[in-house]
């Protein structure tokens, strides 16, 4: 059997795709023969390989271990915090792929997934003539390729620099500039921190006030569970996924506390419109700017699934990792599986249900029992 005819195709080799790959292999499926994992990135690391050079693990950025990672001798619990996170994750995930023989094929970009006449999928790639025809597609595509774009009038009139999160490469690009950072999540706060000593001024705008929490483990776990519950409810109802940080708030780390003490976390409400050389606030005040960084979140990067009627912007009905309206399609790392810990748990369930689907067993799979 060639790769192209393997019954299972996993799109994406970030934490979600690798976790699913691990669990499939553990169930006896053979990498490259029964299951093929493809990724459009040049190397291991999922989205982390593309993150800006100054981003480090530790403090706000923590990654849970992949399942079975202890056998590689590595753990993120003691990962170095001096090198760029992009390098650390690339090395750890690369070691993991080799250890479990996952044989990720890259760079392979999936461009479209259709249903073929025999009920399998017809998967096209950017390399015409190198498609796949699996019975099961597991989209573990993450969000990095699909940043949300702002719906603010006048954006096209701005003559300064405008970027979205994945375009940020270095604080040096903003040296001496007046910069607005828009967004209330970890990326926005990270940018404020990075720009604090290089930009001329940093202005922080969000639609809603941001809640900062003490670094209380019990509270974080409780809010994390509530966030997973809300994500799951939205996914099962086919609604657009809610913002995670609006439920969990942001942990007030020592670094953020220092920023706050310097007056850099003086959040302002979202501006009413953008003009050529700045923004106009709701009360009519003009704020001159040289640059705007839009860090307002992401959608799941599901563009290639559009021929199947799947659109993350409108919402997709997903229960326990399978697309309810598209038999044979699984979404790993989506909604309630988005955190590193729940991605690993969700991957085990997906691997089991994939086998069930291929065996023509009971479908859709029975619902997970609610935890007492
Ligand atoms: C700035 C930032 C910081 C973050 N920090 C943390 C953190 O500290 N801890 C944490 O747990 N989470 C963090 N997150 C969330 C983090 O992105 C996820 O935890 C993790 O990367 C998601 O893994 P994933 O496998 O779902 O997606 P990804 O890591 O994005 O992997 C998806 C893979 O799919 C591939 N792919 C996508 N589309 C295609 C296609 N059409 N064809 C082929 N390949 C494709 C991509 O190349 C990519 O390698 C952060 C997010 C951001 C934006």
Alpha carbon of 128 to ligand 1 centroid (Å): 26
* Residue of 11, 14, 125, 321 to test ligand 1 pocket, by largest number of atoms within 8 Å of CB: 14
| DSSP, res 336 | G
At 195-232, the pLDDT tens digits run 999 999 999 999 989 888 876 677 777 888 888 899 99
| DSSP, res 4 | G
Check: CB of residue 38 under 8 Å from CB of residue 127: no
Instruction: Tell me what pLDDT residue 370 has.
Output: 47
Task: Indicate the burial class of 262 (C-beta count within 10 angstroms; 0-12, 13-18, 19 or more).
Answer: exposed
Instruction: Tell me what pLDDT residue 343 has.
Output: 73
pLDDT band at 128; cut points 50, 70, 90: confident
Q: Comparing 259 with 22, which gets the higher pLDDT? A: 22
Nearest Cα neighbor of 1 from 23, 34, 38, 27 is 34
Alpha carbon of 28 to ligand 1 centroid (Å): 27
Instruction: Tell me what pLDDT residue 10 has.
Output: 98
Q: Comparing 253 with 238, which gets the higher pLDDT? A: 238
**102-128 average pLDDT score:** 94
* Residue of 46, 63, 331 to test ligand 1 pocket, by largest number of atoms within 8 Å of CB: 46
* Residue of 76, 144, 190 to test ligand 1 pocket, by largest number of atoms within 8 Å of CB: 144
pLDDT band at 275; cut points 50, 70, 90: very high
In this chain, the answer to whether the domains covering 3-145+298-360 and 155-211+249-294 adopt an identical fold is: yes
Whole-structure pTM value: 0.93
Q: How far apart are alpha carbons 365 and 348 in whole angstroms?
A: 14
Q: How far is CA 245 from CA 55, 212, 259, in A?
A: 19, 10, 19
At 181-200, the pLDDT tens digits run 999 998 999 999 999 999 99
Is residue 43 scored above 60 in pLDDT?
A: yes
**163-178 average pLDDT score:** 96
Closest atom of ligand 1 to 337 CA is 26
Give percent above pLDDT 90 in the chain: 71
Is residue 33 scored above 90 in pLDDT?
A: yes
Alpha carbon of 63 to ligand 1 centroid (Å): 11
Measured from CB, residues less than 6 Å from any atom of ligand 1 are 11-17, 38-41, 46-47, 51, 61-63, 109-110, 140-142, 144-145, 165, 186-187, 301, 304, 333, 339-340
Domain ranges of the chain: 3-145+298-360, 155-211+249-294
Pick the residue whose CA is nearest to atom 2 on ligand 1: 187
Pick the residue whose CA is nearest to atom 34 on ligand 1: 12
- CATH topology for the 3-145+298-360 domain: FAD/NAD(P)-binding domain (3.50.50)
**254-259 average pLDDT score:** 87
Q: Mean pLDDT for the chain?
A: 91
pLDDT band at 312; cut points 50, 70, 90: confident
Class of domain 155-211+249-294: alpha beta
At 68-86, the pLDDT tens digits run 999 999 999 999 999 999 9
């Amino acid at each position: 059997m060639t790769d192209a005819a393997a019954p299972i195709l996993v799109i994406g080799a970030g934490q979600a795709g690798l976790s699913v790959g691990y669990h499939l292999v553990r169930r006896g499926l053979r990498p490259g023969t029964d299951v093929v994992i493809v990724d459009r990135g040049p190397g291991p690391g999922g989205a982390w390989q593309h993150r800006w050079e100054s981003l480090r693990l530790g403090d706000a950025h923590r990654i849970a271990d992949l399942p079975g990672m202890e056998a590689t001798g590595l753990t993120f619990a003691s990962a170095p915090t001096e090198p760029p996170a992009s390098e650390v994750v690339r090395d750890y995930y690369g070691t993991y792929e080799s250890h479990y023989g996952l044989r990720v094929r890259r760079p392979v970009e999936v461009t479209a997934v259709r249903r073929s006449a025999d009920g399998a999928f017809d998967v096209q790639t950017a390399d015409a003539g190198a498609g796949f025809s699996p019975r099961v597609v597991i989209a573990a595509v993450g969000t990095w390729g699909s940043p949300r774009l702002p719906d603010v009038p006048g954006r096209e009139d701005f003559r300064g620099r405008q970027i979205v999160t994945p375009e940020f490469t270095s604080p040096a690009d903003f040296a001496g500039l007046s910069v607005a950072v828009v967004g209330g999540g970890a990326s926005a706060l990270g940018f404020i921190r990075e720009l604090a000593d290089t930009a001329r001024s940093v202005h922080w705008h969000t639609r809603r006030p941001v809640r900062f929490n003490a670094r209380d483990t019990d509270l974080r776990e409780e809010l994390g569970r509530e966030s997973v519950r809300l994500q799951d409810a939205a996914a099962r109802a086919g609604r657009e996924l809610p913002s995670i940080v609006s439920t969990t708030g942001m942990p007030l780390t020592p670094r953020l506390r220092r920023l706050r003490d310097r007056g850099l976390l003086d959040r302002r409400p979202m501006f009413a419109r953008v003009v050529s050389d700045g923004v106009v606030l709701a009360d009519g005040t003009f704020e001159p700017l040289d640059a705007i960084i839009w860090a307002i979140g992401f959608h799941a990067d599901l563009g290639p699934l559009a021929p199947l009627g799947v659109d993350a912007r409108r919402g997709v009905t997903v229960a326990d990792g399978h697309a309810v309206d598209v038999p044979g399609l699984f979404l790993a790392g989506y909604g309630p599986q988005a955190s590193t810990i729940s991605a690993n748990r969700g991957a085990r369930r997906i691997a089991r249900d994939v086998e069930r689907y291929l065996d023509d067993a009971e479908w859709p799979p029975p619902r997970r029992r609610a935890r007492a």
